[in-house]
Amino acid sequence: MDAESTKSTRNYVYIVQCADGNLYTGWTTDLENRIAAHNAGTGAKYTRGRGPVDLVYFEECLDMSQALKREHAIKKLPRNKKLKLMKR
């Protein structure tokens, strides 16, 4: 195996704020490219036409499963709790 194939993949849960003030939560293995995709209109359907977006929060997770569970938990939070999370 080469060094690239043994490199561990990082998994992130993130919140972006759209230009209209709405928040979007997602997960990715590459934050920089994912935010660029949202801003290019090729990210999530929800963020298309709502750009540009700003990354306002992220956390690293151990694996994809944990990231997906955390994404789901954050999406269920009311807006005021997401705002509190973003202030941490």
Q: What structural domains does the chain harbor?
A: 10-87 (3.40.1440.10)
- Give the confidence band of 7 by pLDDT, cuts at 50, 70, 90: low
The overall pTM is greater than 0.75: yes
Greatest extent of the chain over all pairs of C-alpha atoms, in Å: 47
- Segment 44-57, tens digit of pLDDT: 899 998 989 999 99
Tell me the H-state helices in 2-78: 3-6, 31-40, 64-76
Residue 14 bridge partners (DSSP): 26, 58
pLDDT in tens, 18-27: 999 999 999 9
